[in-house]
Amino acid sequence: MLKNSWLFPAIQSIHIAGIALLVGTITLEDLRVWGFRLELPEGLGRWTRPGLVILLLTGALLFLADVTRYVRNPAFWVKMFFLLLALASQFRPRKTRLAAAMSLALWTAVVLGGRAIADFDVF
């Protein structure tokens, strides 16, 4: 029912906002590790975890709306693989330049994988 109602695009929009919070704050922190001098408001990093919660909750709702579609979609599995790697590497106490570069690459792969889901439906 959810996939054929106005709720699905509304939840997708909230999901994208969660992506912006999570990946946006992570990207800014990774760029700082690389030496970019960014003037950011103090406490910006506190938005990372709420972004993750939003992302996971809305992602689960989107998945449950059409389980069959996602289970058959290779792009979904690529996204999930990179999401697990990104999450596993993300919440470490200390970041090096290599870890920041890996983080940027992994989160980029997650976002691209999510975008590819619409293009790789297998029926």
pLDDT in tens, the chain (123 residues): 677 788 999 999 999 999 999 999 999 989 989 999 888 788 888 899 999 999 999 999 999 999 998 999 999 999 999 999 999 988 777 779 999 999 999 999 999 999 999 888 766
Looking at residue 44, what is its pLDDT? 82
- Residue 70, H or E segment: helix 67-71
Which two structure tokens, joined as six digits, stand for 99? 């870890």
> Considering only CA atoms, which of 91, 88, 25, 18 is closest in space to residue 60?
18
pLDDT at residue 121 in the model = 75
Question: Six-digit token pair at 112?
Answer: 């691209």
Residue with tokens 């596993």: 88
Backbone angles phi, psi at 39, to 5 degrees: -95, 100
pLDDT value at residue 123: 62
Predicted model pTM: 0.88
Could you give the angle at the alpha carbon of 93 between the alpha carbons of 88 and 98, nearest 5°?
A: 70
